[in-house]
């Protein structure tokens, strides 16, 4: 099944000369809500490739993240998210492509440049027999922090992740959610230019997940560039300024959520539960500007519109003007799940 | 180097917090050294009590009692008790109060003086083989001396044609019996340079368990890989070799800590005599180097934490057996002594042995220390080259 939408659009507008364009359909750059206008590119990934024997795990992945931008890699397990992030932070040798942080190449051998990266691995990466403060102190010193600066940063991070009361407890006495928060806190300690978060909420209870997502959102607002990989659609929608749909080691589409939805050409649907003359109501609804079609089905009028949120007040006014009484309204907007389904032929959950 | 020290300090903090590491590094070797040295101290000690019944009372019998048997009595290790009758002597042996009895019959001195055969009976207790053998050897020595004197006297008689009196014979025999051996043998290898029991078990347990301490650092790389902390470290602004260096420094520090505690504790608790301090430091440092080198090489072949731990333990025990940490190689067949020289354990014990004794100096252990150092550097070098894969980007 083809995953290429017919209305797929232009290549990446800001790719430098000679750089390979991002594979798959990419929407035209739109004003980004996260980064400030003219924000500098923090991370530039070009044509990243990795092969394990006969399996090509990453097939020419390219993207950029600007200062203050939260960029999501959304895809199922095995899509190549972790492999990509591992190559970015120098844990994996890459077979091709380049990675630069603030213009400085990042490679396996790069040492100084890696100080600008904060890495939060998918699995917990903390010492269970050390306290949270000891964990933070060790990794802080690894990144060159020391003295009063280190002490102050440890306290700040413990406050941020809500562990200041338990900072002197061994981490093997923490709940899973607390360990996850510390796992993220370690990545933040040295105030990196770029934070790599590899599925940080896997296996976390809903309450802790919410706290984690709020912390990450705050970091993005504070100006940190963030690369966030996830297979949870809701997290990508909530956190990310731009999202890349990745599957089978390649980026299938990239853009804001709105751009991605627009990419697949799917429109919003409004279901109106009415009493009265449904056919008159349907005709009145069809005449509203922005409505593509409207049809009466039983005691429901189904309306297809380009922007249901904006159309809805006029729509309700029109049907009530036609003599119908509105008993209920259901708004169905296409989401990233629909985009993933459209691009890959599989539901995101099915693909895991 | 800063990163290596950071990793080493972090490892040390974890190991000292981890009671099992302290158990393996300090408590187990110390406990076993104390137990073995105390248990076997009684089993390997020697003392004997001899009874003498002199029913002859002649001058030659007195020489036998005073100058031959009496010369060995020191009041502590060997005691000699005189009894009046042969029956009392036999009863003492039968009753277990004596290990052997010398029975000097009536007419003993007269018979020898006349150049006739005389009988000296040695009665040994059933389960005191060594004590009885020593008693027999003493009697034999006297008998040999008597024969020599008789021959000398016979020759003198032939030349002078004047028969000697019993007093002449006693005087000559006395001179012969009391004279020191013409050649004195000092066996410095087996006597002066032998480690005391407490020192032997202290040193052998220390080197045996040192191998378990030495492997902890590198094996913990597998643990760090499993718990994800290694990837997190390697994602930082560090060079991968500094992690290996940190693990090695951590192992060295743990080994040094354990050995220092063991040397001091065994000296104070069970009276181990390790030797000149400088020499002990040299032996300890080179032994730790060898242990870490060999452990690094062994661990570098492993793919999992479990395999690394099992292989290291197997090598440590095998080398320990071959190296004489369970029983001294001096008492083993020649082939075992030779095999022990293939192990750091053997050289460690040999180095300490060289320094043992009142005249031992640190210089005496230089050869063994050099061998240990070379063992450590060669195996460690190979191990580090192989172990780089554990911290390399995949």
Chain A residue closest to B16 (CA)? A129
pLDDT of residue B292: 93
At residue A48, the pLDDT reads: 92
pLDDT exceeds 50 at position A247: yes
Q: Which residues of A touch B235 (CB under 8 A)?
A: 89-91, 114, 117, 119, 121
Q: Which of B10, B227, B235 sits opposite A90 (nearest CB)?
A: B235
3-state secondary structure chain B: CHHHHHHHHHHHHHHHHCHHHHHHHHHHHHHHHHHHHHHHHHHHCCCEEEEEEECCCCHHHHHHHHHHHHHHCCCCCEEEEEECCHHHHHHHHHCCCCCEEEEECCCHHHHHHCCCCCCCEEEECCCCHHHHHHHHHHHHHHHHHHHHHHHHHHHHHHHHCCCCCHHHHHHHHHHHHHCCCCCCCCCHHHHHCCCCHHHHHHHHHHHHHHHHHHHHHHHHHHHHHHHCHHHHHHCCCCCHHHHHHHHHHHHHHHHHHHHHHHHHHHHHHHCCCCCCHHHHHHHHHHHHHHHHHHHHHHHHCCCCHHHHHHHHHHHHHHHHHHCCCCCCHHHCCHHHHHHHCCCHHHHHHHHHHHHCCCCCCHHHHHHHHHHHHHHHHHHHHHHHHHHHHHHCCC
Question: Least CA distance to A114: which residue of chain B?
Answer: B237
How sure is the predictor about B155, in pLDDT bands with cuts at 50, 70 and 90?
A: low
Confidence at B116, pLDDT banded by 50, 70, 90: confident
Does the structure show a pLDDT above 80 at A10? Answer: no
Please give the pLDDT value at position A348.
Answer: 66
The answer to whether residue B203 scores a pLDDT higher than 60 is yes
- pLDDT score of A351: 52
The reported pLDDT for the residue numbered A26 is: 40
What pLDDT score was predicted for residue A63? 93
Ramachandran angles phi, psi of A317, nearest 5°: -65, -40
pLDDT at A41: 87
What are the structure tokens assigned to A46, written together?
A: 């070009």
**pLDDT (tens digit per residue) in B380-392:** 999 988 888 888 7
pLDDT at residue B154 in the model = 62
Residues 6+ apart with CB under 8 A from A237: A243, A257, A335, A336
The residue-averaged pLDDT of A287-304 equals 87
Q: Residue A8: which pLDDT band, with cuts at 50, 70 and 90?
A: very low
Query: Which of the four pLDDT bands, split at 50, 70 and 90, describes residue B332?
Result: low
Helix (H) or strand (E) holding A49: strand A41-52
**In percent, how much of chain A has pLDDT > 90?**
30
Instruction: Encode B298-358 in three state secondary structure.
Output: HHHCCCCHHHHHHHHHHHHHHHHHHCCCCCCHHHCCHHHHHHHCCCHHHHHHHHHHHHCCC
* Mutant choice from B8, B17, B393 vs A, greatest count of A C-beta within 10 A: B393
pLDDT, averaged across chain A:
82
Q: Is the pLDDT of residue B151 over 90?
A: no
Least confident segment among A196-205, A292-301, B146-155: B146-155
Residues of A in contact with B227 (CB under 8 A): 124-128
Q: Residues B172-200: pLDDT tens digits?
A: 666 655 554 433 333 334 433 467 788 88
Residues in chain B closer than 8 A to A108 (CB atoms): 393
State yes or no: pLDDT of A219 exceeds 70: yes
Which residue from A22, A36, A25 is spatially nearest to A3, judged by alpha carbons? A25
Please answer yes or no on whether B229 and A126 come within 8 Å at the CB atom: yes
B234: which chain A residues are within 8 Å (Cβ-Cβ)? 90-91
Minimal C-alpha gap between A61 and chain B (Å): 19
A85 pLDDT band, cuts 50/70/90, is: very high
Among the residue ranges A153-167, A255-269, B49-63, B87-101, the one predicted with the least confidence is A255-269
Residue B239's pLDDT band (cuts 50, 70, 90): confident
pLDDT band at A125 (very low <50, low <70, confident <90, very high): very high
Burial of A222 (0-12, 13-18, 19+ CB in 10 A): exposed
Tokens of B158: 């032939």
* Residue B234 distance to chain A (closest CA, Å): 7
Determine the pLDDT at residue A139: 94
How much is the mean pLDDT over chain B?
A: 81
Task: Give the pLDDT score at B152.
Answer: 66
Higher pLDDT, B129 or A92: A92
Mean pLDDT in residue range B54-61:
86
The whole-number average pLDDT for the span B76-84 is 83
ipTM above threshold 0.95: no
Question: B338 falls in which pLDDT band (50, 70, 90)?
Answer: confident
Q: What is the pLDDT of residues A141-162, one digit of tens each?
A: 999 998 999 999 999 999 888 8
How much is the pLDDT for A49? Answer: 94
**Range in A3-7, A250-254, B363-367 the model is least confident about:** A3-7
- Of the candidates A92, A93, A114, the beta carbon closest to that of B236 is on A114
- Are residues A91 and B234, on separate chains, in Cβ contact within 8 Å? yes
Q: What percent of chain B has pLDDT over 70?
A: 82
CB contact under 8 A, A91 and B229: no
The residue-averaged pLDDT of A172-177 equals 88
Percent of chain A at pLDDT > 70 equals 86
Lowest-confidence pick of A157-171, B33-47, B278-292, B333-347: B33-47
Q: Name the least confident of A258-272, A304-318, B288-302, B361-375.
A: A258-272
């Amino acid at each position: 099944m083809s995953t290429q939408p017919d209305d797929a659009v232009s290549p990446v507008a800001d790719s430098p000369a000679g750089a390979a364009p991002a594979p798959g359909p990419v929407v035209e750059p739109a004003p980004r809500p996260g980064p400030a206008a003219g924000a500098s590119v923090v991370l530039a990934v070009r044509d990243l490739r990795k092969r394990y024997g006969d399996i090509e795990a990453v097939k020419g992945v390219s993207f950029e993240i600007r200062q203050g931008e939260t960029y999501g890699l959304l895809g199922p397990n095995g899509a190549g998210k972790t492999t990509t992030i591992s190559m970015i932070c120098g844990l994996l040798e890459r077979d091709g492509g380049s990675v630069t942080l603030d213009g400085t190449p990042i490679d396996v051998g790069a040492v100084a440049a890696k100080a600008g990266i904060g890495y939060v691995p998918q699995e917990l990466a903390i010492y269970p027999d050390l306290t949270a403060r000891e964990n933070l102190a060790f990794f802080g010193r690894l990144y060159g922090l020391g003295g009063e600066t280190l002490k102050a940063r440890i306290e700040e991070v413990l406050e941020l992740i809500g562990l200041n009361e338990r900072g002197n407890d061994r981490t093997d006495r923490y709940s899973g959610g607390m360990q996850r928060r510390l796992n993220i806190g370690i990545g933040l300690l040295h105030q990196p230019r770029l934070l790599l978060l590899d599925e940080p909420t896997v296996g976390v209870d809903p309450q802790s997940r919410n706290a984690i997502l709020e912390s990450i959102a705050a970091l993005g607002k504070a100006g940190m560039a963030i690369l966030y990989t996830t297979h949870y659609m809701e997290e990508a929608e909530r956190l990310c300024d731009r999202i890349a749909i990745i599957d089978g080691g390649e980026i299938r589409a990239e853009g804001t959520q709105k751009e991605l939805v627009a990419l697949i050409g799917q429109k919003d649907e409004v279901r109106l539960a009415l009493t009265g003359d449904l056919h008159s109501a349907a005709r009145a609804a069809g005449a509203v500007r922005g409505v593509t079609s409207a049809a009466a089905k039983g005691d429901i009028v189904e309306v297809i519109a380009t922007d249901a949120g904006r159309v809805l007040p006029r729509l309700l006014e029109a049907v009530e003007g036609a003599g119908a009484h509105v008993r209920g309204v259901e708004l169905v907007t296409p989401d990233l799940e629909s985009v993933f389904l459209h691009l890959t032929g599989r539901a995101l959950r099915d693909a895991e | 180097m800063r990163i290596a020290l950071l990793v080493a300090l972090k490892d040390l903090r974890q190991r000292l917090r981890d009671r099992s590491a302290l158990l393996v590094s300090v408590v187990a070797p110390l406990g076993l050294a104390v137990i073995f040295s105390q248990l076997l101290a009684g089993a390997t000690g020697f003392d004997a009590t001899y009874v003498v019944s002199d029913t002859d009372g002649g001058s030659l019998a007195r020489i036998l009692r005073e100058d031959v048997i009496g010369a060995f009595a020191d009041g502590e290790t060997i005691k000699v008790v005189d009894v009046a009758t042969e029956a009392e002597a036999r009863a003492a042996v039968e009753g277990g109060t004596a290990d052997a009895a010398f029975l000097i019959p009536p007419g003993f001195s007269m018979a020898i003086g006349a150049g006739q055969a005389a009988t000296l009976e040695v009665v040994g207790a059933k389960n005191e083989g060594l004590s009885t053998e020593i008693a027999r050897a003493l009697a034999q020595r006297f008998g040999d001396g008597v024969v020599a004197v008789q021959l000398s006297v016979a020759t003198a008689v032939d030349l002078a044609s004047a028969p000697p009196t019993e007093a002449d014979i006693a005087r000559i025999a006395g001179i012969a019996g009391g004279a020191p051996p013409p050649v004195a043998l000092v066996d410095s290898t087996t006597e002066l340079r032998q480690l005391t029991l407490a020192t032997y078990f202290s040193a052998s347990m220390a080197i045996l368990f040192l191998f378990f301490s030495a492997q902890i650092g590198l094996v913990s790389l597998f643990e760090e890989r499993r718990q994800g902390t290694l990837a997190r470290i390697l994602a930082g602004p560090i060079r991968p070799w500094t992690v290996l260096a940190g693990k090695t420094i951590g192992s060295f520090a743990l080994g040094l800590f354990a050995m220092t505690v063991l040397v001091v504790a065994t000296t104070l608790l069970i009276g181990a005599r390790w030797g000149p301090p400088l020499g002990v430091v040299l032996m300890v440092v080179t032994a730790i180097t060898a242990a870490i080198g060999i452990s690094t090489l062994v661990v570098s072949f492993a793919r999992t934490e479990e395999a690394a731990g099992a292989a290291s333990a197997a090598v440590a025990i095998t080398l320990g057996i071959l190296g004489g940490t369970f029983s001294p190689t001096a008492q083993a067949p020649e082939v075992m002594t030779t095999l022990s020289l293939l192990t750091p354990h053997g050289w460690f014990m040999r180095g300490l042995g060289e320094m043992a004794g009142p005249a031992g100096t640190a210089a005496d252990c230089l050869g063994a220390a050099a061998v240990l150092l070379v063992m450590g550097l060669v195996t460690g070098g190979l191990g580090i080259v192989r172990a780089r894969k554990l911290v390399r980007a995949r």
